[in-house]
Amino acid sequence: MSGKRGPRSAEDRVRGLLVMLPWLMQRKRVAIADMAKQFNMSESDLIEDIELASMCGLPPYSPYELTEVYIDEDYILVGPNKYFERRLELTSSEAFGLSLLAAAAEEMPGFTRGKDLKNALKKLRKILGEGIVDVDVESPQFLNDVTDASQTGERLRLTYWTPARNEESDRLVTVRSVFTDRGHWYIAADDDASGDRRHFRVDRIRNVENTGIFVPVVAEPVQVPAWFADAADKLVVTLDVAAEAGWVVESYPCRSLTENADGSFRVEMVVNSEHWLGRLLLRGGGLVKVVAPSTLSTMQQTVAAQVLANYSK
């Protein structure tokens, strides 16, 4: 299933799951290594897809309504599952949901509609009507360029903006994978400037130049990093986040997260600079406050005063 090099498309992953899940439901318990061999894919790709399937279900997305498939050590197991036990008869809301997912998939880089999917979408939209679904998926300017480079092995010269230092730099990179996390697209690339593997957010790429230099494409699983975990001089902060600023915990990785009865949060996160933290506090508009370290408790007021001073010049 995963014979192609480079990142797997949403179409390939969904098509694979539709084949694998009924097979898995018949067996109830299968070794990860055996299932990966059966479907000709890496164990990491298989685990990634099974974890995705385990989060699928119907509103209100309670444990009872989720697909009962999970991983226990070296095995994949399933429980009683109503979604794959009967012939698929869609309700109007389910048909709408499928159409919504299809519309989102069509916006993904590298997505190509196969004959089967094209026919299915034609039937769905014949019932629902054309234009009923309009999905706006983040598609940064150079997303297609870096996706193509990950598949062809062409090295790229990037102009990249780093918000922590508020500066641009030129990078010569080899893109190894393209992935999305928390609503943003990233690349994992071999970076000449540092001589190491680095991650770059695609919407912060200011310019891309093709070099015409090609290197072998290395097939490897996509792994979402633990952001800032290995950053030198990392700064750990504790924040109080109001319920109205819940986008903070949805957008950025947290070391720990506690939700309070009123919907607010107490979070601990790693930040890569005080400059970045100051920008986050400004965006929070008083709804995000520093609890620790105490030396940064007045940072929001300080940064706001600096911004006002710059505008008053």
pTM greater than 0.85: no
Q: Is the dihedral of CA 118, 45, 31, 67 positive or negative?
A: negative
Report CA torsion sign: 278, 282, 283, 289. Answer: positive
pLDDT, mean over the chain: 79
Which domains does the chain show, CATH number per domain? Answer: 10-128 (1.10.10), 143-214 (2.30.30), 235-312 (3.30.70)
* Mean per-residue pLDDT, 122-150: 73
**Average of per-residue pLDDT across 130-153:** 77
What's the rounded Cα separation, in Å, for the pair 146 and 141?
Answer: 10
pLDDT at site 114? 61
pLDDT at 9: 76
Higher pLDDT, 225 or 134: 225
- Supply the pLDDT for residue 81: 57
pLDDT band at 312 (very low <50, low <70, confident <90, very high): low
Least confident of 50-59, 66-75, 219-228: 219-228
Look at 86-95, 153-162, 200-209 and tell me which has the smallest mean pLDDT: 86-95
One-letter amino acid identity for 272? N
- Which of 6-10, 66-70, 104-108 shows the lowest mean pLDDT across its residues? 104-108
User: What does the pLDDT read at residue 155?
Assistant: 95
Q: What pLDDT does 141 receive? A: 87
What pLDDT is attached to residue 266?
92
Q: How far apart are CA 13 and CA 16, in angstroms?
A: 5
Q: Does the pLDDT at position 115 exceed 50? A: yes
Over 80: is that where the pLDDT of 297 sits?
yes
Q: What does the block give as tokens for 274?
A: 């005080």
Indicate if the pLDDT at residue 206 is higher than 80. Answer: yes
Looking at the predicted structure, is the pLDDT value of residue 94 above 50? yes
Please calculate the CA angle 25-116-138 and round it to the nearest 5 degrees.
90
Q: Mind listing the pLDDT tens digit for each residue in 229-243?
A: 555 557 889 999 998
pLDDT at residue 158, rounded to an integer: 94
Annotate the chain with DSSP letters as a single string.
---SSSSPPHHHHHHHHHHHHHHHHHHSEEEHHHHHHHTT--HHHHHHHHHHHHT-B-TT--GGGB--EEEETTEEEE---TTSSS-----HHHHHHHHHHHHHHHTSTT----HHHHHHHHHHHHHH-TTS--------TTHHHHHHHHHH-EEEEEEEEETTTTEEEEEEEEEEEEEEETTEEEEEEEETTTTEEEEEEGGGEEEEEEEEEE------------TTTT-TT-EEEEEEE-GGGTHHHHHS--SEEEE-TTS-EEEEEEES-HHHHHHHHHHHTTSEEEEESGGGTTHHHHHHHHHHHHHH-
Residue 167's pLDDT band (cuts 50, 70, 90): confident
- What tokens does 110 get? 């590298």
pLDDT above 70 as % of the chain: 72
pLDDT attached to residue 278: 87
Is the pLDDT reported for residue 132 higher than 60? Answer: no
User: Does 132 or 202 have the greater pLDDT score?
Assistant: 202
pLDDT band for position 205 (cuts 50, 70, 90): very high
Given a cut of 70, whether residue 255 has pLDDT beyond it is yes
